A = this chain, B = another copy of it.
Amino acid sequence: MPETDLGPMLSPRSVAVVGASDTPNKVGSSVFRNLTSSGFAGPIYPVNSRSSTVQGRAAYGSLTQIGQPIDLVVICTPAATVPALIRECGELGIRGVVVLTAGFRELGESGRILEAKILEEKSKFPSLRIIGPNCVGIVEPKIRLSASFALGMPAAGSVAFISQSGALCTAILDWALLQGVGFSHFISLGNQLDVGFADLLDYLAEDPETTSAILYIESVVQSRYFMAAAKKFASRKPLIAYKAGRFAQSAKAAASHTGAMAGVDAVYDAAMKRAGIVRVFDMQSLFACAELLTLHPQAIGPRLAIVTNAGGPGVMATDTLLEENGQLAELAPETIKELDAFLPVNWSRANPVDVIGDADAERISKAVTATLADPNVDTVLALLTPQAMTHPTQSARALAAISIPPGKAILASLMGGEQIAEGRRILQQSGIPTFETPEQAIHGLMHLIDHSKRRDSLTTIVDNKPIPLAGTREERRRYVDDLAKPSMKPLSEMGTSARTLTEPESKQLLVRYGIPTTPIRIAPTASEAVQAAEELGFPVVLKILSPQISHKTDVGGVALNLATATQVRESFERMIAQARSMRPEAELLGVTVQPMIAELHGVELILGAKQDPVFGSVIMMGTGGIHAEIYRDRSLELPPIDRSLALRMLQNLRCWPLLQGYRGAKAANIEAVAELITRFAAMIVEQPRILECDLNPLVVSSSQVIVLDARFVIGNSSFSPADPFSHLAIAPEN
Contact = CB atoms under 8 A, between A and B. Distances in A.
Interface stretch (A166-174, A498-506, A701-709): A166-174
Nearest to A311: B257
A419 interface: yes
Contacts of A163: 312
B106 A246 contact: no
Given A166-B310, A348-B253, A554 B657 contact: no
Interface residues of A, number: 99
A626 B663 contact: yes
Interface string A308-326: 1111111110111011000
Interface stretch (A269-277, A410-418, A522-530): A410-418
A633 interface: yes
Contacts of A256: 311, 348-350, 354
Contacts of A555: 664
A256 B554 CA distance: 57
Contacts of A420: 174
Nearest to A287: B437
A258 B311 contact: yes
Q: Which of A102, A310, A315, A352 is the most central at the interface, judged by chain B CB atoms within 10 Å of its CB?
A: A315
A107 interface: yes
A177 interface: yes
Contacts of A417: 174-179
Number of copies: 2
B312 A419 contact: no
Given A386-B171, A417-B177, A654 B630 contact: yes
Contact of A346 (B25, B106, B176): B106
A554 B662 CA distance: 9
A282 interface: yes
Interface in A104-142: 106-108
Interface in A494-527: none
A415 B247 CA distance: 23
A539 to B, nearest CB: 16
Given A630-B654, A663-B551, A253 B318 contact: yes
Contact of A627 (B176, B257, B438, B627): B627
Contact of A282 (B320, B421, B655): B320
A662 B626 contact: yes
Nearest to A170: B386
23 contacts: A25-B389, A107-B346, A163-B312, A165-B312, A167-B308, A167-B357, A168-B313, A171-B386, A174-B419, A175-B417, A177-B417, A218-B315, A244-B312, A247-B322, A250-B318, A250-B322, A257-B311, A282-B316, A282-B437, A284-B436, A630-B654, A630-B655, A630-B662
Given A165-B312, A630-B654, 11 more contacts: A107-B345, A167-B308, A174-B417, A174-B418, A178-B421, A249-B322, A250-B315, A256-B349, A257-B315, A282-B437, A555-B664
